[in-house]
Amino acid sequence: MLKKDLNSSQPVVEAFVKNKRILLIIGGGIAAYKCLDLIRRLRERGAGVRVVMTRAAQEFITPLSVSALTNDRVFSDLFDLDDEREIGHIRLSREADAIIVAPATSDLIAKMAGGHANDLATSVLLASDKAPLLAPAMNPHMWLNKATQRNVEQLKADGIAFVGPETGEMAERGEAGPGRLVETAELIAALETMPGMSAGGPAASGPLSGRHVIVTSGPTHEPIDPVRYIANRSSGKQGHAIAAAAARAGARVTLISGPVSLPDPRDVETWHVETAAEMQAAVAGALPADIAVFCAAVADWRVAEQGGQKIKKEKGAPPPALNLVANPDILRTVATLKTGRPRLVVGFAAETENVLAHAQAKLAAKGCDLIVANDVSAAKGVMGGDRNSVHLVTREGHIDWPEMSKEDVAAKLVDEFVRRFSESAFSMTDKAKRAMKSDKPRHKKKKVRKS
């Protein structure tokens, strides 16, 4: 909780914004300069701040100043192909815990009320899955104009929260009235009431707070006919343990599970599927994510044409031949996504011989960042059992972990994810660093069941 010391430069340790990721959309108004202080105060309190600036906003403050304060690049162009590949307007909003629009100008408010999406800021807002907090600032006559008031009422009816404007002297000489951007302290206090900012609950704290993790687990069942199917011995214990460990670390977790007899883990959204095709569709529906872990033992093949009726055993006839076709490779599909690839894609390798060599080959073939290799020979009892002994394989080499419980494997694996994500709430890519250095304004012309 934070209601004091906003003018202090001392970091406030127990602020509700700690580890939260705030997307700040800066509109084009004289009050835009106050956003520099807002960014500073949020970052002092441990929040990651990513900024979208409208073109008009860049007339008032420069992307260079904003970049310097956020330690990230500034996003401004809807048609920036690099952004669409690396970030995209959907991810910009989905990766944030809360969105602030400040100053919310009469133009931005009108566009939002009308559902327009003709630049990056409005596209992000329209594509967002969370309602933003609007901090309006404009000339009092603009604020009191019937059109603006109509738009504000419309947005309020749509569930959008407002803070301000304050009444007072305006930047224009002789102008006074309602239209001033609220002070930073009030804006941050209002942020606390936003849904993504609430204290408590699984995603409120922990080193993976604000991250979305997808985990696949268990076997898939590939039907032969209405009563028979092809399956494997996966119990889901390892995948479910990873999902639970990620949730304990504060992540929002979507677990996509094949048929298992385990209970759904606590604080994890669990989707139940049967076949590889259903699992693939569920994974696609669960994206975007920061981390995707593919622990499911997905059947490599399915029967090309499953019988509509139970296949009958005819006296004296040979057994039916099963014509198999390849299932989609879910891990490979996600690991090679050109748009919206999770930052960390983790595969498993279940082998019965030459475990390391096969795992290294899989890492290259599937395009993932990490492979967890385990020996699933019957003698080891890994599939269905409670313990596992794994090797962590990367492009650089491998680490052998001693045998331990599947829960301990999961916990150590999640520690590894945390280590890889620990640099900053929003880490800066090399490209971002280059963009920040040059600070050029970038105006380019030119069947799933849910439980």
Q: Which residues are catalytic?
A: 232
Closer of 109 and 383 to ligand PMT (Cβ): 383
CA dihedral 92, 98, 104, 107 (to 10 degrees): 40
Which residues from 323-342 bind ligand PMT, rule CB under 6 A?
A: 327, 329-331
Q: Shortest gap between Cβ of 400 and ligand PMT (angstroms)?
A: 15
Selection from 144, 117, 141 nearest residue 128 by Cα:
117
Task: Indicate the DSSP class of residue 139.
Answer: -
Among the residue ranges 10-18, 119-127, 184-192, 377-385, the one whose residues contact ligand PMT (CB under 6 A): 377-385
Q: Shortest gap between Cβ of 378 and ligand PMT (angstroms)?
A: 12
Closer of 19 and 216 to ligand PMT (Cβ): 216
Selection from 143, 139, 123, 196 nearest residue 171 by Cα:
139
Does 374 engage in binding with ligand PMT (CB under 6 A)? yes
Taking residues 194 to 233 in sequence order and writing x for each that binds ligand PMT by CB under 6 A, - otherwise, the string is: ----------------------x-x---------------
End-to-end CA, the chain: 33
Does 350 engage in binding with ligand PMT (CB under 6 A)? yes
Q: Shortest gap between Cβ of 162 and ligand PMT (angstroms)?
A: 45
Is 108 in contact with 121 (CB distance < 8 Å)? yes
Q: Shortest gap between Cβ of 286 and ligand PMT (angstroms)?
A: 14
What gap in Å lies between CA 89 and CA 85, rounded to an integer? Answer: 10
Which residues from 67-96 bind ligand PMT, rule CB under 6 A?
A: none
Is 393 in contact with 360 (CB distance < 8 Å)? yes
**Residue of 384, 394, 424, 449 that binds ligand PMT (CB under 6 A):** 384
Report the relative pairing of strands 344-351 and 370-375 from DSSP bridges.
parallel
Is 213 in contact with 246 (CB distance < 8 Å)? yes
Q: Shortest gap between Cβ of 372 and ligand PMT (angstroms)?
A: 7
Does 348 engage in binding with ligand PMT (CB under 6 A)? yes
Does 382 engage in binding with ligand PMT (CB under 6 A)? yes
What gap in Å lies between CA 250 and CA 196, rounded to an integer? Answer: 13
User: Can you read off the two tokens belonging to residue 180?
Assistant: 């001033």
**Residue of 53, 347, 391, 414 that binds ligand PMT (CB under 6 A):** 347
Which residues from 403-442 bind ligand PMT, rule CB under 6 A?
A: 406
Name residue, tokens 């199917």.
229
Q: How many residues bind ligand PMT (CB under 6 A)?
A: 30
Closer of 171 and 364 to ligand PMT (Cβ): 364
Closer of 21 and 237 to ligand PMT (Cβ): 237
Q: Is 26 helix (H, G, I), strand (E, B) or coil?
A: strand
Q: Is the peptide bond before 328 cis (omega within 30 degrees of 0)?
A: no
Closer of 163 and 383 to ligand PMT (Cβ): 383
- 183-201 as b/e: b if 16+ CB within 10 A: bbbebbbbbbebebbeeee
Q: Per DSSP, what are the bridge partners of residue 184?
A: none
Per DSSP, the residues of 330-383 read HHHHHHT-SSS--SEEEEEEEESSSHHHHHHHHHHHHT-SEEEEEE--GGGT-T
Taking residues 272 to 311 in sequence order and writing x for each that binds ligand PMT by CB under 6 A, - otherwise, the string is: ----x-----------------xxxxx-x-----------
Q: Shortest gap between Cβ of 133 and ligand PMT (angstroms)?
A: 39
Closer of 196 and 328 to ligand PMT (Cβ): 328
Q: Shortest gap between Cβ of 98 and ligand PMT (angstroms)?
A: 33
Does 265 engage in binding with ligand PMT (CB under 6 A)? no
User: Can you read off the two tokens belonging to residue 121?
Assistant: 């800021």
Report the relative pairing of strands 404-405 and 387-388 from DSSP bridges.
antiparallel
The footprint of ligand PMT (CB under 6 A) covers 216, 218, 234-239, 276, 294-298, 300, 327, 329-331, 347-350, 362, 374, 376, 382-384, 406
